[in-house]
Amino acid sequence: MELSERLGAVLDDALAVEREPDGAVTVRHGGTIASLRVVPVTEGLELVSLTQMLAWDLPLTAGLRNAVADHAQATQLGTVSLVAKTPAAAAGGRRSRKVADVLLRYNFPAAGLSDEALRTLILMVLATGVQVRRALVGEQA
């Protein structure tokens, strides 16, 4: 079984899995959305690339920047980053405040991992993302 097929299969028991036409897998967990895809690097080396949307359209403040920087430093399973964006002008021509999305990215080689180990690693990364989301948006567990 190819790695892209394994991703969906190992997560089916734990999460609702959407298989995308391009081979990616999309899962939702704890208010987040994550995309997992296989990235071939060279013969015999494939990486699982996990991108998890933790929060979106948060007001871009110094406090948010600092909180994301703190999480980026403290997070061991993945890289937490902030993507600033300027929304379209609000109705009536008023300028909107800048907002930001927060992501967690994690890439790892999957060769040699059993199905259980692959599932466990992915669930650990997703749980880390959920913890960061809760801290940033103030959600309770």
36-64: average pLDDT = 94
Q: Is the pLDDT of residue 101 over 60?
A: yes
In tens, the pLDDT along 107-123 reads: 999 988 999 999 999 99
The total of structural domains in the chain comes to: 1
Give the model's confidence band at 103: pLDDT under 50 very low, under 70 low, under 90 confident, else very high: very high
Q: Is the pLDDT of residue 45 over 70?
A: yes
Rounded to whole angstroms, how far apart are CA atoms 26 and 16?
A: 9
CATH number of the CATH domain containing 72? 3.30.1460.10
Give start and end residues of each alpha helix (H) in the chain. Answer: 3-11, 62-74, 115-137
DSSP classification of residue 75: -
Check if the beta carbon of residue 49 is closer than 8 Å to that of residue 107: yes
Range of the domain at 50: 3-137
11-15: average pLDDT = 93
Q: Is the pLDDT of residue 20 over 70?
A: yes
The DSSP bridge pattern shows strands 25-29 and 17-19 to be antiparallel
